Amino acid sequence: MTIEVKNLSKWYGQVIGVNNLTFTLEPGVTGFLGPNGAGKTTLLRLLTGQLRSSKGTLAINGKRIWANHKVMQHVGYCPEADAFWAFLTGREFVYSHMRMHGFGNEEAVRLTKNAIEMVKMTDAKDKKIGGYSKGMRQRIKLAQAIAHDPDVLFLDEPLNGMDPLGRRDTIELVKNLGDQGKTVVVSSHILHEVEEMTDSILLINHGRLLAEGNIYEIRKLIDTHPLQVTIECDRVNILTARLLEFEDVQSIHFNREKGQITVETIQPDDFHMRLPELAQKLNVTIHSLWSPDENLEAIFDYLVR
């Protein structure tokens, strides 16, 4: 399915959310890349019919999106917000979505089971979502988005808060869906995450489309700029000691109280590849890792300069 956006703008009063965007998305995975506040979420909300455009048009397979519930038959959406009906278990959450989608009981049960297996949540499916870790909540959100086998999938920061294993599984899943001919849109503020899923990106900042197309050109620019990565884990001391031995690691900031370290690396790709292996070797459990926003802002400022 094709998504067409023409001269799309969205204003919130005097504030511009997105500014005169024109692009076409074909089947396969496309990354929306930009720092927090760049307009990615606004764009996804416009594409999923939650917001109405101030100017311009947007359509999925030629059909308008705003207040057109029929087009949602083909759409899956994983929102960024960590929001749930907390009384539900993971299984009930996905099942309820399938029933809302119009499937009967038996079909909804089958689709729910499949989706939960796909995101590897079978063991925790009958626990209340309120008791899930952030990574598990991300997985179950993803399950409700893919369960009905949509042709178009919008994933807003799907890797946020996931552990390295969860990230790897989700990246594989997204790539597979793209290979199956689905139109998958993934938004992220972390370049290497998007890069692992696709080489096709839209670079967005301040609501404007800065670049569109192949990721490698942008990658070359970023490689010269150090990236900060914050890791939350147990056995912080042991991990820190080993990370200091890496040549690409320029500095490490230590927060013992929070069990966090912030590493500055000039080779983020290598760093991210080495980290899971190292953690396994040292028997360190990584709860989550992310890049601090201010560092990403700096990278994007550097890029658009």
Cα separation, 153 vs 169, in Å, equals: 17
Q: Is residue 126 part of the contact set for other proteins (CB under 8 A)?
A: no
Q: Read off the tokens for 161.
A: 């808060």
Q: How far is the CB of 213 from other proteins (least distance, A)?
A: 27
Q: Is 193 in contact with 267 (CB distance < 8 Å)?
A: no
Q: Is residue 85 part of the contact set for other proteins (CB under 8 A)?
A: yes
Q: Is residue 277 part of the contact set for other proteins (CB under 8 A)?
A: no
Cα separation, 103 vs 110, in Å, equals: 10
Q: Which is nearer to other proteins, 97 or 272 (CB)?
A: 97
Residue of the chain from 29, 75, 143, 191 that contacts other proteins (CB under 8 A): 75
CA-nearest of 33, 293, 39, 35 to 187 is 33
Q: How far is the CB of 52 from other proteins (least distance, A)?
A: 6
Region of 23-31, 92-100, 211-219, 266-274 interacting with other proteins (CB under 8 A): 92-100
Determine how β-strand 183-188 pairs with β-strand 227-233: unpaired
Write phi, then psi, for 190 (nearest 5 degrees). -120, 115
Q: Is residue 235 part of the contact set for other proteins (CB under 8 A)?
A: no
Write phi, then psi, for 232 (nearest 5 degrees). -110, 120
Handedness of CA 299, 177, 112, 167 (dihedral sign): negative
Cα separation, 243 vs 275, in Å, equals: 9
Residue of the chain from 6, 101, 225, 274 that contacts other proteins (CB under 8 A): 101
Q: Which is nearer to other proteins, 31 or 150 (CB)?
A: 150
Q: How far is the CB of 50 from other proteins (least distance, A)?
A: 5
Contacting other proteins within 134-153 (CB under 8 A): 144
Contacting other proteins within 53-72 (CB under 8 A): 67, 69-70, 72
Q: Is residue 49 part of the contact set for other proteins (CB under 8 A)?
A: yes
Residue of the chain from 27, 35, 79, 135 that contacts other proteins (CB under 8 A): 79
Q: Is residue 254 part of the contact set for other proteins (CB under 8 A)?
A: no
Q: How many residues are present in the chain?
A: 305
Q: How far is the CB of 81 from other proteins (least distance, A)?
A: 4
Cα separation, 73 vs 232, in Å, equals: 39
Q: How far is the CB of 85 from other proteins (least distance, A)?
A: 6
CA-nearest of 124, 203, 193, 191 to 161 is 193
Q: Read off the tokens for 241.
A: 């000691």
Q: Is 89 in contact with 127 (CB distance < 8 Å)?
A: yes
Which residues in this chain contact other proteins in the complex, by CB under 8 A?
Answer: 12, 41, 45, 48-52, 67, 69-70, 72-73, 75-77, 79-87, 96-97, 99-102, 144
